[in-house]
Amino acid sequence: MNKRKNHRSMSVITMGCRVNQFETELLRHGGYDRGFNITKKGDKADLIIVNTCSVTSESDRQARQAVRRAAKENPCAKIVITGCYAQRTPEILSKLPQVALVLGNQEKNELWFHVDKLFPDELNQEKKNSCAAASDSTENKEQAIIYVGDIAKLNQVPSRPVVNTFNDRARAFLQLQDGCDRSCTYCLIPGVRGPSRSLTPDQILAQAEGFVAAGYNELVLTGIDLGSYGLDFTPAVSLGHIIKKLLKISGLGRLRLSSIDPLDIDPEVIDLIESEEKICPYLHLSIQSGDNMILKRMGRRADRNQIIERINEIKKARPQIVFGADLIVGFPTESDEAFKNSLSLVEETQLTFLHIFRYSDRPGTPASSIPGSFRSSGVVIKNRSEILRKAGEVNLKDVANSLIGQMDKVLIETIKDGVGMGKTASFLPVSFAVKGDENVGELRDVILKEFDNFNGCLKGVVQELSTALST
């Protein structure tokens, strides 16, 4: 986005999931279309939008911290807060320094209608000049405006503009749906995102074609509950249905699925994983625990045996596939034996990239009412998290070493000091010397040479360069 002279500036602080990141990109484009320049990190801004997450208490803390930091660094800025934390406790956030507006998740789509009222054509120059001397005290703070509706009443995702850039990222996130109909006992996301609502195939295909036309070689399918895509349509359609349509887009490089429940990877999707090379051989599974009793108390659909069976089915279809997983440590009543079952699941199924969440009470959820006597201490939870992390690293090393000597396509994510960094289709990190004509976002054939234990990544050589060195 080109910078324009004499225009107000804005920045967006994004927290949480890939859906938030996709929606943030819509906000950036909306701001630019309305005359705002999009600032780079460290630059002052007139408008700061904080797109929050509330999946854990730590997410809430980080959001408050981000707002206070933004206010301190930009004393003349107006701050708008939206996202899941804003949906849940708008009154608390409205009292933070310089917050002028708090919008719920649905109202996020009307953000510019409200922001226009914050910036009248003629700025009060005296107020603007004096604001730099303001402190972060809330004593004289003007009352923030709050627009947060009942998200439980939503029945569709609103139409959205097509964007063709993704904040300088190498890959683009493609949202398929929003909301969730599940009832996991630890989770408040259905209450702040609403019921599952799918974007239409036409909306999705238009956005995907825009990304591909803009040069993105990898699209990542995202959603709050990706596996429920299309179930709200009449008649219902499947996730496999939209994947098939996306695979027909001319020029598409590769398609990646983001976090998904193992049972939502049905036979139709497994057949596509087996037959379509463009589908990346990496799946990040929403597992949460390897213990049957804990899974039952969490309100999860799959038990341990079903998870293992589904993983084995997928491995049979695509032997080279790699798995990551979301896991919660310290769920109330998790005993030493229950934790060992999670650890053994990681080891047995060779899960690599682990997103490990230390259990956090979410207000109003059934799990939050479990008495403290059934809970593990913070020290125990920390130690268990570290054990799982190390198990994932061992699996990553084993998987990476099994690929030494092979050639794989690497999507370049960064280039610095003559070294390219990126990921294979199976999401393994790779570093390699660049020749000088590579660009971020390009796919390069790289021969994998060795695994760097210290940095946790493969080292490789671009195929053309490797050939030249051997002649």
Query: For the chain, what percent of residues have pLDDT higher than 70?
Result: 93
DSSP readout, 88-117?
H-HHHHHTSTTEEEEE-TTGGGGHHHHHHH
Task: Write down the pLDDT at residue 308.
Answer: 98
CA distance 306 to 292: 10
* CA 107 to chain CA mean position, Å: 21
pTM above 0.75, yes or no: yes
Distance CA 352, CA 287 (A): 13
**Amino acid in the structure at residue 365:** T
Distance (Å) of CA 156 to CA 104, 106, 402: 16, 10, 45
Question: CA 96 to CA 141: how far, in whole Å?
Answer: 9
Half-sphere exposure of 307 (CA within 13 A, CB side): 31
- β 457-462/443-452 pair status: antiparallel
Across-strand partners of 286?
326
Check whether 464 has a pLDDT greater than 90.
Answer: no
Q: Is the pLDDT of residue 224 over 70?
A: yes
Q: What is the pLDDT of residues 117-149, one digit of tens each?
A: 888 754 444 445 456 444 444 555 678 999 999
Cα–Cα distance, 469 to 471 (Å, whole number): 6
> Above 60 in pLDDT, residue 470?
no
Q: What's the pLDDT at 161? A: 86
pLDDT, tens only, 46-71: 999 999 999 999 999 999 999 999 99
pLDDT: which is higher, 143 or 221: 221
Put the strands of the sheet holding 197-198 in their side by side order. 197-198, 172-178, 218-223, 254-257
Model pLDDT, residue 43? 87
Q: Quickly name the fold that domain 172-401 has.
A: pyruvate-formate lyase- activating enzyme (3.80.30)
Least confident segment among 5-14, 214-223, 348-357, 422-431? 5-14
pLDDT tier at 469, thresholds 50, 70, 90: very low
| 467 pLDDT above the threshold of 80 | no
Q: What's the whole-number mean pLDDT along residues 234-238?
A: 96
Q: For the domain bounded by 407-470, which CATH number is listed?
A: 2.40.50.140
CA-wise closest residue to 350 among 384, 306, 397: 397
- pLDDT per residue over 345-379, tens digit each? 999 999 999 999 999 999 999 999 999 999 999 99
Under the banding of pLDDT at 50, 70 and 90, the label for residue 155 is confident
**Amino acid identity for residue 291 in this structure:** D
| Sign of the CA dihedral running 437, 442, 447, 449 | positive
Reference 180, options 188, 169, 171; nearest CA is 188
Looking at residue 274, what is its pLDDT? Answer: 97
User: 9-149: CATH homologous superfamily?
Assistant: Methylthiotransferase, N-terminal domain (3.40.50.12160)
Average pLDDT for 85-97: 96
Which pLDDT value is given to residue 187? 96
Least confident of 16-25, 121-130, 324-333, 381-390: 121-130
**In the chain, where the domains are located:** 9-149, 172-401, 407-470
Per-residue pLDDT band for 471 (boundaries 50, 70, 90) equals very low
CA dihedral of residues 191, 370, 63, 179 (deg, nearest 10): -20
Distance CA 354, CA 326 (A): 6
